[in-house]
Amino acid sequence: MASHRRPKQTGPRCNGVLTVTAAAAVALSTQTASADPLPDPNKKGVQAQIDRLYEQATQATEKYNGAGEKAETLKKQVAALQDAAARKQGELNELRDRIGTVAAGQYRAGGLDPALQLFLSGDPDTYLESASALDRAGDRQSAVLRQFLSQQRALRQQRTEASEKLRDLDEVQTELGRRKGEIQGKLREAQRLLNTLTAEERARIAEAEDRANRASSRVDLGDETSASSRAAAAFAAAKSRVGLPYVWGASGPASFDCSGLTSWAFRQADVSIPRTSQAQANIGTRIDSLGALRPGDLVLMRTDLSHVGFYAGNGQILHSPKPGAQVRYESIARSGMPFMWGVRVG
């Protein structure tokens, strides 16, 4: 079978506030079979702790992404409600002006209808709630006044909904801050543990990670084809990102977390999918057998569905695996994460 060599891609690095600290670039490889053993058994324990912290950080990142997606949805809903309320207020103002014009004409003619007089008083809304008051107006005036009342009720409802959405948004933004602190705490603790290792041990870990990245450029993907043109386009976009860094909360184009890579790649194929791995697990057609996957299908990993990547062919996954790592190909069997199911999109 022919060997498909994947040249290492280079690209700009993300320098935003969500970038993992530079020291995390010596993150441990999840493929323990390829890593050199540390001589001290206690150091192996440190290795395992760091791996676990990175796993917890990526799990927290998916929750952060979910809160972020919800916040964006709420922002759009609030903006739409506020825009609708502004339009409704404009319509009310026009109706009020029409009623005022009628009242002014009646006044100049020598008499003002009691119904209009009450409407123009200090508390017109309370007045309009009274059906008997509307009955005192003429048919034409009553229709206008009833229209005003209907518009007024709709405006109140929109403003109430907007206020509720704003409260929801405030809660979600608080959650975002909490998740961010959780992730940063995990990464700080991982860095602290890394600092307990000697320079030689850290160099050995960095070399293991570098080997995993180099192996990605030599992976044999076989000759399988994608199940659809959209999946093929998304997979091609993801392949163009090989070599770019994992950054928590990032969704491209220069850095990615796991679901950031998959959602970005499908956007390049003009397909909109949810932002988080847990949500991506429930779209498209579910595929329970690893052997039935085709290149471009989503691969859901871990029992909590906190990791996702693309099936790349020949038992390989293309993914953004963890803090400190790069977008790369890896064997699903050796990834250290259990396969749950696949999803075929498009």
Burial of 148 (0-12, 13-18, 19+ CB in 10 A): buried
Q: Is the dihedral of CA 59, 64, 68, 71 positive or negative?
A: positive
* Residues whose CB is less than 8 angstroms from the CB of residue 246 and which lie 6 or more positions away in sequence, other chains included: 20, 255, 256, 257, 258, 320, 321, 322, 323, 324, 325, 326, 327
Where does the chain have alpha helices with state H? 41-108, 114-119, 124-128, 131-135, 139-195, 199-216, 229-239, 258-268, 277-280
Find out whether 295 and 221 touch, Cβ atoms under 8 Å.
yes
- Establish whether 319 is a catalytic residue: yes
Q: What is the CA radius of gyration of the chain?
A: 30
- Read off the pLDDT of residues 16-72 as tens digits, 9 standing for 90 and up: 333 333 334 333 333 333 333 444 445 568 888 998 999 999 999 999 999 999 999
Q: Which of 6, 294, 302, 307 is catalytic?
A: 307
Which of 26-40, 101-115, 132-146, 256-270 shows the lowest per-residue confidence on average (mean pLDDT)?
Answer: 26-40
Tell me, which fold does domain 221-346 have in CATH?
endopeptidase fold (from Nostoc punctiforme) (3.90.1720)
- Establish whether 4 is a catalytic residue: no
- Read off the pLDDT of residues 210-243 as tens digits, 9 standing for 90 and up: 888 888 888 999 999 999 999 999 999 999 999 9
C-alpha span between 74 and 168 (Å, rounded): 8
Nearest to 229 by CA among 183, 294, 283: 294
DSSP state of 120: T
Q: Which of 319, 322, 328, 344 is catalytic?
A: 319
C-alpha span between 14 and 8 (Å, rounded): 18
Burial of 82 (0-12, 13-18, 19+ CB in 10 A): middle
Edge to edge, the sheet with strand 328-331 lists 285-287, 339-344, 298-301, 307-313, 316-319, 328-331
Domain ranges across the chain: 28-216, 221-346
pLDDT at 116: 57
pTM: 0.69
C-alpha span between 115 and 124 (Å, rounded): 10
- Read off the pLDDT of residues 61-83 as tens digits, 9 standing for 90 and up: 999 999 999 999 999 999 999 99
CA 174 to chain centre: 16
Q: What angle do CA 317, 318, 322 make, to 5 degrees?
A: 100
Q: Is 300 helix (H, G, I), strand (E, B) or coil?
A: strand
- Read off the pLDDT of residues 263-282 as tens digits, 9 standing for 90 and up: 999 999 999 999 999 999 99
Q: Which of 258, 265, 281, 298 is catalytic?
A: 258
- Establish whether 307 is a catalytic residue: yes
C-alpha span between 262 and 272 (Å, rounded): 10
How does residue 144 score in pLDDT terms, banded at 50, 70 and 90? confident
